[in-house]
Amino acid sequence: MENQKTGLTKEQKREQRLQRWLSPPGIKFRDTKAEKLYKERVDRFIRAFLCTKPDRVPVIVPAGNFPLWYSGQTLKQAMYDPTVIRPTWKKFMADFYDDMDDFLGPAGINSGRAMEILDYKMFKWPGHGLADNVQYQQYVETIMMRENEYDNLIKDPSDFGFRVLMPKAIGALEPLKSFPSLNSLMGMPLVFAFPFTRPEVRVAFQKLIEAGTELEQFMKELRLVNLDAITAGFPMGMGIGALAPFDMIADHLRGTQGTAIDMYRHPEKVLEATEMILEQTIQRTIDSVNATGAFIVNFALHKGDDTFMSNKQFEKFYWPSLKRLIDTLVDEGIIVSLFCEGRYNRRLEYIGDFPKGWVVWQFDQTDMAQAKRMIGNNCCIVGNVPGSLLSFGEVKDVKEYSRKLIEDCAPGGGYVLTGGTVVTEAKPENLHAFMEVALKYGKYN
């Protein structure tokens, strides 16, 4: 299918995006070895993503916030002093330089100061709802939208998000509840200034400015880490994140309990809202990919696993909108990567219906041998050494589990060895073991 604006096929557009990943503009590698390793590593991943054979199985070390723990730092220190982050990750990269093709950077770390300024209610974090020494953040699932508010969301989602959702999620923005409807601004832009005659509204927006100032400095440090990784020879990122349309409702609007009830009481409203979210997500995601020069869109799937809904519900509520979203991104020459939290054993019959080399599935607790049989011809599969094994197991057990994964999943190409989830506190020797196994068992003839 040709793109109407450029005349390029989806394959040609994908090739352009991948070439940008292979030769990132404006990057000066620290030495010739780093440049050589970078290109080898990117080529290795590209071949795996396209379901062909690289020289060997690629390795992603599922580090999460492990570099902080490994260096004796805490997540709280990093959240409140971002200058801690860069030296911590540089030490990790140096010590594991030859033991991984890629790793997860510190993008999941948020600014504690910015969230405190905003009175952000969607997370608990060390020193703010969690103990100071906890090495993770905790999402707080809240029913943000009432059962009778679907119509308001569907009719005007921007207004609903601005005047209803944000004041609930961000305490500092509670005064936005009294803002005039955003659709009243059409033809009357001065109306937007009237609420600022109230001191509490001015204070709310001043809080946003203060938080933005904190985030600006925080994000500078994160960008430096990513730049350090690329110049050292690690193919970081080149992707953006997105949410499955149903997950937007079940995670952020109605919550798990509310959504489960709505599927029975108001199925037509759930479907209508999902369709609206889908249409908005498609264009927003494509625009973001094009603006950033990315080649891949990453999804973390939360409510599609075997335990949350039946196959019948999956067919009705979850999969149709996600499938359309994936298909549309593929038509734009964008590779799609999806992390399936939980188990997807009963979903494998659905999720492999894509052209070869466009979709990557990372699995948490799914049967990997079964996944290879059912979807591995068309889709790259990634995973799934358990985090518990990496944290508490012995090296020999990590090696044996990883060897079995390669034996089951690597034949024919299209497999990446990594964890089923990220780890924060793990035995370093268990993470070093990934590459040893890949070199011994993961080479292709």
| 401 in the same domain as 270 | yes
| 300 in the same domain as 156 | no
Which residue is listed with tokens 């005007």? 156
Q: Token pair for residue 94? A: 């140096």
Does 153 fall in a domain? yes
Does 302 fall in a domain? yes
CB contact at 8 A, 133 and 126: yes
Last residue of a domain, one of 212, 233, 254: 233
pLDDT of residue 184: 81
CA distance 328 to 171: 37
Residue 336 contacts by C-beta under 8 Å, 6 or more apart in sequence? 296, 297, 299, 326, 329, 330, 358, 359, 360
335-340/359-363 β-pairing: parallel
Does 266 fall in a domain? yes
| 267 in the same domain as 382 | yes
Last residue of a domain, one of 188, 217, 233: 233
| 444 in the same domain as 308 | yes
| 417 in the same domain as 274 | yes
138-139/123-126 β-pairing: antiparallel
Query: Sheet harboring 380-385: ordered strands across?
Result: 239-242, 296-301, 335-340, 359-363, 380-385, 415-419
Q: Which residues pair with 416 in a beta bridge?
A: 382
Distance of CA 319 to the CA centre of its chain: 18
Does 18 fall in a domain? yes
Q: Which of 229, 259, 187, 269 is nearest to 89 (CA)?
A: 229
| 130 in the same domain as 60 | no
Does 102 fall in a domain? no
Q: Token pair for residue 103? A: 């790793």
Number of domains into which the chain is organized:
2
| 253 in the same domain as 378 | yes
Does 248 fall in a domain? yes
| 344 in the same domain as 414 | yes
Q: Which of 379, 364, 368, 380 is nearest to 423 (CA)?
A: 364
Q: Token pair for residue 119? A: 């009175």
pLDDT of residue 5: 64
CA trace torsion 107, 164, 323, 420 (10° rounding): 30
Last residue of a domain, one of 176, 198, 233: 233
Q: Which residues pair with 360 in a beta bridge?
A: 337, 380
pLDDT of residue 2: 43
CB contact at 8 A, 145 and 166: no
Which residue is listed with tokens 């003839």? 445
183 burial level (CB within 10 Å; 0-12, 13-18, 19+): exposed
DSSP for 105-161?
-GGG---HHHHHHHTB-SEEEETBEE-TT--S-EE-----S-GGGHHHHHH-HHHHI
Q: Which domain holds residue 219?
A: 109-233
296-301/335-340 β-pairing: parallel
Does 441 fall in a domain? yes
| 241 in the same domain as 184 | no
Q: Output the pTM of the full model.
A: 0.94
pLDDT of residue 1: 40
Q: Which of 225, 229, 228, 223 is nearest to 101 (CA)?
A: 229
The list of the chain residues with pLDDT below 50 reads 1-4
| 441 in the same domain as 388 | yes
In 302-394, at which residue ranges do the beta strands (DSSP E only) sit?
335-340, 359-363, 380-385
Q: In this structure, what CATH number is given to the domain that contains residue 14?
A: 3.20.20.210
| 293 in the same domain as 215 | no
| 422 in the same domain as 283 | yes
Residue 132 to residues 124, 126, 218, Cα–Cα distance (Å): 11, 5, 20
Does 409 fall in a domain? yes
At position 160, the amino acid (one-letter code) is F
CA distance 135 to 111: 14
CA distance 303 to 387: 21
CA distance 160 to 182: 9
